[in-house]
Amino acid sequence: MSILPAILASAMASSRGRSAIGWFVLGLIFSYFAPIVLLLLPATSSRRIFPGKGMDGAHMNWRQKTSHPCPYCGNDCIFDDIPGNWTCPNCGNTFTYSSDGHVYKIRDDQVLPQVEWIVKLFAKLAKQDGVVTENEIHQVDAIVRQSFQPSREQLHQIMAVFNEARYSAETFDTIAENLYFSVGGRSDILIDTLTALLAIGYADGTLRSEEDALIRQAARIFRMEADYEALKSRFNGSSASGNTEQSLETCYHTLNCSPNDSLDTIKKHYRQLIKENHPDRLVSRGASREAVQEANVRVAAIKKAYEQILAARNE
């Protein structure tokens, strides 16, 4: 029995996308009939990894890198062969890589993904203590307008992202990690983000411990723990000079308490006042914007009074 037909059938089967071993056996059994049958059979197409069609049926090799010139600066950029928004490591601009295999500039009215991540961090920090105060809203608005210089349409999108992120299940850590990887670890963007977070944290005069812990966590995710204290020190002086404390008598009066009350009693009064004046309750009832702003001011005053009493009692 000649093995030549089996070898020939095996080689032909492999080149036509069929089982080489199976056709080798058939070659041994049926001799030259096996290669002849193979010639009559249509060739099979190889399977794709992650099958599916892109735009116009364009094939994307999801496991490889691709290289395209940046539509802004013209320098070559190497990135994953996956459609989406990518940041040029040379000029820092973000472009869109389409499934048709071409790169395009971002539309003028489109908010960059990096901006969305930063705004989401703002929202999570402002909501950390349960209430977004008017001072925090003003600070976020000032940072957004000064840093991003958005158009009217972009500003509308940014505020929608901010409001949605306040109640989303997405965690602060996840957002910070997404921002870090989306900007490729660029220190200038990350330092500006930490600075902005500190500005929001100090918007009410003092940086609360839970806010400090959250921003410090962002610094760890950004690989900038060593820079955090230096950034924070920029705000300590201005905060101290601009923060005028009220008398303890006024603080107790704000919480409907007296200096003779126990700490547990003061805590109960504090929590009840926060619950009664929480702006989210007014929003759910369809209250006016002015009423919600007044509630924010009242809640900020209640918190400040409570913190000052705790500090006086060394709690």
Q: Tell me whether residue 18 is exposed, middle or buried, using C-beta atoms within 10 angstroms of its C-beta: 0 to 12, 13 to 18, 19 or more.
A: middle
Question: pLDDT tens digits for 115-173?
Answer: 899 999 999 998 887 777 778 888 888 888 877 778 888 888 898 999 999 889 999 99
The listed range with the strongest mean pLDDT (5-19, 44-58, 106-120) is 106-120
From the list 16, 35, 15, the residue with the least C-alpha distance to 26 is 35
Residue 99: the pLDDT is 62
pTM for the model stands at: 0.48
Question: pLDDT tens digits for 175-194?
Answer: 999 999 888 888 888 888 99
Least confident of 12-26, 43-57, 77-91, 185-199: 43-57
Mean pLDDT, the chain, as a whole number?
78
pLDDT band with cut points at 50, 70 and 90 for residue 220: very high
206 backbone φψ class: left, alpha, beta (φ>0; ψ -120 to 50): beta
Residue 242 clears pLDDT 70, i.e. is over it: no
Residue 44: the pLDDT is 53
Residue 297 clears pLDDT 80, i.e. is over it: no
More confident residue, 175 or 58: 175
Least confident of 87-101, 162-176, 240-254, 284-298: 240-254
Residue 216: the pLDDT is 93
pLDDT band with cut points at 50, 70 and 90 for residue 54: very low
More confident residue, 291 or 156: 156
Is residue 87 within 8 A of residue 75, CB to CB? The reply is no
Residue 245: the pLDDT is 52
Beta bridge partners of 84: 97
| DSSP code string of 39-90 | HHSPPPPPPPSS----GGG----TTSEEEEE-TTT--EEEEES--EEEE-TT
